[in-house]
Each structure stands twice: as structure tokens, then as C-alpha cells.
Amino acid sequence: MNLTLRIWRQKDSNAKGQMVDYKVTDISEHMSFLEMMDVLNEQLVNSGEEPVAFDHDCREGICGMCSLYINGEAHGPDRGVTTCQLHMRMFKDGDTITIEPWRAAAFPVIKDLIVDRMAFERIQHAGGYISVNTSGNTQDANSLPISKIAADEAMDAATCIGCGACVATCKNSSAMLFVGAKVSQYALLPQGQVEAAERVKNMVAQMDLEGFGNCTNTGACEVECPKGISLDNIARMNRELMKAALK
């Protein structure tokens, strides 16, 4: 395939960015999207130009690092995949592909397509953990019976990889799907009950402090989430917050 790539270029967080067009040729439909970006960068380096900066790590849909807004969709036109799992067979020969970073005030651009997602880390640090005795007298996990339904729902919530697609695709730049998933994975299990009230209050407070918007239930976040995190987790987070406020 021969393609035109319209890519956001920005030298640093203080510079003014702009869209720049590039041509790439002989792109195989079997390439992943990031492999296609590698081809472009090799072409730029060989011609003495600055390569396009973009986030990536595992390239297996696990780490949540890859975060490109492709043709107006977080992670591109496919569903249930991250950018690194997106393949070029989703595009046609001659296509123009627009590639941008996540757009949210809480995710400032560092360079080109890389954004600072430390806001998610700070939310996690505010309460996304449990205190466990690791002195050698740790309780055996099997001594706490948990229903299959609760275990499955907790695992579904825990599959969130923190990529930020929910924020990027939301018209309000809301992080409630992310926070809802992180609250839910503990709220559903007995190990998470001790700190449940403080956890949800602290994480929601940090989310608001970071400047994320509120949820208006359009559901775009669930559609674009590569792990299919359900809106039910937002409802659960709201219930946990109401219970915490009444204590």
C-alpha cells in the first residue's frame, strides 16, 4: 500500500505544534500500525530528518503505552485492540491517515505523539492499592471464599491497562472509566473492604484535582476501550463514593 500520513509534530511541551504530511510506500497489509510507523521513521532518519516520537513498549496490547488517535478514533478503526495490535489491513491503498496524540488538558503533549500520563499514576497512588501483612504471617488466599461472579467481575475490571483511550475519546476528557475500574477491582473483593471508603474518596478527589472532566454517560469510553471495560464500573464507583460519604 501507498499511504499519506498526516501526523502531529510538536518539538516539546512549550512549542506550537502542527500537522505534517508524509508519504510511505510498499506498506504490507500484514504490518502492525507501529511497524508502519517504524518504516516511516527509518525513512526520516535516512533522509536526515527528525523521527516521529511515539510511545510503545510491549507491542502485545498489555502495557498500555501505545496511544495514538488515528482518523478520529482512539487506537484506530478496529475494536478491542490497542494501537500496537492494529494492522494495516484495516486501511486501503491511497488512504490518508491522520495521527494525533491523546487530546486532554490532563495529558499534556511531551513531544509529537507522546503525552504525559502521570496523572493516572497519581490517581493510582492516591488509593489504588491494599495494605497486606507481608511479615510472614500472610493469610492464605484460599481461606477467603469469593463467589465466581465477584471474582470474574473483579478480574474484568483489573484488565484495565491505563492507556487513556477513555479520556481521549470522551468529549469531557473524563477519567471515570479508568478510576471506576481501579476502584471496582478492589471493591468487589474482601481484601479491598478495609480501605474501601478512603480509597474511593481519595482517588476521585485526585481525579478532580488532575483536571479530568465529568461523565455524561455517552458511552464512548466503553466503545473505544481496548479491554472492553464496562460502564458498570463507573456506576459501582459512584455507589462506593456515596457509601463513603455517608460513613
Q: CATH code at 151?
A: 1.10.1060.10
> Domains in the chain: how many in total?
2
Which residues, at least 6 apart from 199, have a Cβ–Cβ distance to it below 8 Å?
127, 128, 183, 186, 192
Q: What is the pLDDT of residue 144?
A: 80
Distance between CA atoms of residues 166 and 103, nearest Å: 11
DSSP result, 8-61: EE-SSTTSPPEEEEEEE-S--TTSBHHHHHHHHHHHHHHTTPPPPP---SSSSS
Whether pLDDT at 141 is above 80: no
What gap in Å lies between CA 13 and CA 9, rounded to an integer? 11
Q: State which residues form the domain around 161.
A: 117-131+145-246
> What percentage of the chain carries pLDDT values higher than 70?
100
My answer on whether 153 and 55 are in the same domain is: no
Q: CA angle at residue 111 from 109 to 116, to 5 degrees?
A: 40
Same domain? 195 vs 226 = yes
**Are residues 105 and 33 both part of a single domain?**
yes
Looking at the structure, do residues 105 and 172 belong to the same domain, yes or no? no
pLDDT (mean) for 173-197 = 95
CB count, 10 Å around CB of 19? Answer: 11
pLDDT band at 28 (very low <50, low <70, confident <90, very high): very high
Q: Among 112-116, 134-138, 221-225, where is mean pLDDT lowest? A: 134-138
Take residue 131 and report the three cell numbers written for it. Answer: 495494605
pLDDT band at 120 (very low <50, low <70, confident <90, very high): very high
Is it the case that residue 125 has pLDDT exceeding 90? Answer: yes
- Could you tell me the pLDDT band of residue 136, with boundaries at 50, 70 and 90? confident
Average pLDDT, the chain: 95
Q: What local confidence, expressed as pLDDT, does residue 238 receive?
A: 97
**Quick one: residue 144, left, alpha or beta (phi over 0 = left, psi -120 to 50 = alpha)?**
beta
pLDDT at 49 over 90: yes
pLDDT of residue 135: 73
Residue 184 backbone phi and psi in degrees, to 5: -65, -40
pLDDT at 139: 73
CB 177 within 8 A of CB 159: no
How far apart are alpha carbons 130 and 141 in whole angstroms?
Answer: 14
Cell numbers of 233, please? 464500573
What span, in angstroms and rounded, lies between the C-alpha atoms of 108 and 7? 17
Residue 32, pLDDT > 80, answer yes
Q: What is the pTM of this model?
A: 0.93
The 8 Å CB, 24+ separation contacts for 147-153 are 150/188, 150/189, 151/188, 151/189, 153/184, 153/188
Verify that 93 and 164 share a domain, yes or no.
no
Pick from 160, 65, 79, 161: nearest CA to 113: 65
